[in-house]
Amino acid sequence: MISIKSEREIELLRIAGNVVYQTHCYLKPFVKAGITTKELDKLAEDFIRSRGCTPSFKGYEGFPSTLCTSINSEVVHGIPDNRKLKNGDIISIDIGACYKGYHGDSAWTYAVGEISDDAKYIMEHTEKSLFVGLKEIKPGAHIGDIGAAIEEYAEAHNLGVVKELVGHGVGTNVHEEPDVPNYGERGTGPILKEGMVIAVEPMLTLGSPEIVIWDNDWTIETEDYSLSAHYEHTVAVTKDGYKILTGGLNGKE
Ligand code: MG
Ligand code: MG
């Protein structure tokens, strides 16, 4: 069942989402050569708790950390550790925060110092593919419309779509129904209704879209070690479109 959120629930989801957005803004200046992902994780956890929230991912199905930090060819679910970021790296940071039982979920990929043209390309077009997907959202549209738009955009830019991982509904659980794939066919899948809240999160690759899972059972990496980027917003379906919940409070981001 896909739940329809009340106005009050959407307000709580927006507060949680805004804390996720603020955490991204807070972390960004720290994403530099020399910092470890564990240090970023501590900064994020302290910040989220200082805002009256709890980290959504810590303890979720046994995940050990506040952030998912995925470097270069790592796609998602990287566990913060003692590795230092290096000039030229790209790092996808996925953040979840819970406010009064309601979650926000948003990922962004960051450049560490000067990055290659390939890295710039995968970042730019994965971010654009997120907004191409979001544009499809309105009451009466199908979930498949979102994935089809992202897949078409990725194919037009010669990028791979990771298919094993998908977006999802968001509410009192960080992962709810429905699945929101980054591929699909228009006119298929559940129909969107006002009050649904979903996270759209394209994960694109510069090479093969095939993935492998590390022995830690979490970190997912491209099979051919090609670069990957990940951008995600949690959004509410509105009367005539969608509203980003994991942005600033003026709703413009
Ligand atoms: Mg996420
Ligand atoms: Mg998500």
Is 252 a member of any domain? no
Question: How far away, in angstroms, is 232 Cα from ligand 2 center?
Answer: 7
pLDDT of residue 248: 79
The β-bridge partners of 230 are 203
Q: How many domains does the chain have?
A: 1
pLDDT of residue 249: 67
Residue 12 near residue 170, CB atoms below 8 Å:
no
Any idea which ligand is nearest the CA of 200?
2
Query: Does the N-terminal peptide bond of residue 80 adopt cis geometry, omega within 30 degrees of 0?
Result: no
pLDDT of residue 203: 98
Question: How far away, in angstroms, is 195 Cα from ligand 2 center?
Answer: 18
Task: Give the strand pairing for 102-111 and 90-99.
Answer: antiparallel
Amino acid at 63: F
How many Cβ atoms sit within 10 Å of the Cβ of residue 155? 12
How many Cβ atoms sit within 10 Å of the Cβ of residue 130? 25
pLDDT of residue 250: 56
Nearest-5° Cα angle at 73, 222 to 114: 155
Is 2 a member of any domain? no
Question: How far away, in angstroms, is 47 Cα from ligand 1 center?
Answer: 17
Any idea which ligand is nearest the CA of 170?
2
pLDDT of residue 252: 45
pLDDT of residue 253: 47
Any idea which ligand is nearest the CA of 231?
1
Quote the pTM value: 0.97
Q: In terms of C-beta density within 10 A (0-12 exposed, 13-18 middle, 19 or more buried), how is residue 114 classed?
A: exposed
Is 33 a member of any domain? yes
Q: What is the CATH number of the domain that holds 211?
A: 3.90.230.10
Question: How far away, in angstroms, is 59 Cα from ligand 1 center?
Answer: 15
Is 160 a member of any domain? yes
Is 75 a member of any domain? yes
Any idea which ligand is nearest the CA of 168?
2
Residue 150 near residue 133, CB atoms below 8 Å:
yes
Q: Which domain range does residue 114 map to?
A: 7-244
pLDDT less than 70: residues of the chain: 249-253
What is the maximum alpha-carbon separation in the chain? 48
Is 181 a member of any domain? yes
